[in-house]
Structure 1
Amino acid sequence: MGILNTRNLRKAKDLLEKNRHKVGDAVEKAGGTLDKVSKGKTSAVTAKASDAAKKYSQGAAPKYGTEIPVDATLDREMRAQDSADSQLRQTQATETAANAVKGAADALTNLMNKASAQAEKHTATKAGSAENSGGSPTSQE
């Protein structure tokens, strides 16, 4: 599972909503630190981010100690979807592996057939040259 799966994204949104009143201050503090490190080169970007975060913070009343309810049905559906996605990926990986093994087996069969054909040809050539010379077959390499 990746870091940004559905469950983690929902948790991040819930946490952000619970602490909405702190976002503006945190972004402003982080922007100030970034400005110090960059020696003012990022001040335009950090000022814009800070303003947006302050507007976000002011738009909500703080929800001290209240939990945001999570619909149990939605949670079950999301878990089922994660499970179904996982099973689908596993099935696709198994199919890909099976196709790779089949391809390797086909290539090996083809190689064996060619080697067998060349060996038969070589044996027939030796047998034909031995009959022409009237003696026993010898190695001609």
Structure 2
Amino acid sequence: MQQAISTTYKYTSKKENPPTNRGLFHDFRFSPGYDNLQQDGISEAVGSLTVFLHTAGKGASCPYCGHFSHRLHSYYSRHIQDLEVYGHTLELVIKVGKYYCENVSCPRKIFCEPLSFLARRYGRRSYLVEERIRSISLELTSRKA
């Protein structure tokens, strides 16, 4: 009696599994000190470093009504520039969830998980980069009395 041979191929998307290079930063661990961000991978190019992260939260609060929701709608990637590391520019690519607001009286039906601890809303630079730019510009433009 013959047995059927079954082969299962697991399709993996490049977006789901970020590249991991074996360059200078292959053992680099981005640890921002935030419990809800976890590192997925790292990619190194000439003069730049990209760290792939995802939020580990299982829900978020609606910014309009404050109702907490667990119903996931989709994901999107948010790109944030952070301070440089050893002369390499650092870009954070964070996979953030979009959620349905479960409050029926709320006018906002879908909202994004906020990253207010890292950057402004719609911001493309971290608070650290903005502070560095602000301090350098004040240093260069202020007059000494």
Q: Do they superpose with TM above 0.5? A: no
Write 1 or 2 for the structure with the bigger share of helix.
1
Greater strand share, structure number: 2
TM-score, normalised relative to structure 1: 0.23
How does the TM-score come out when normalised to structure 2? 0.23
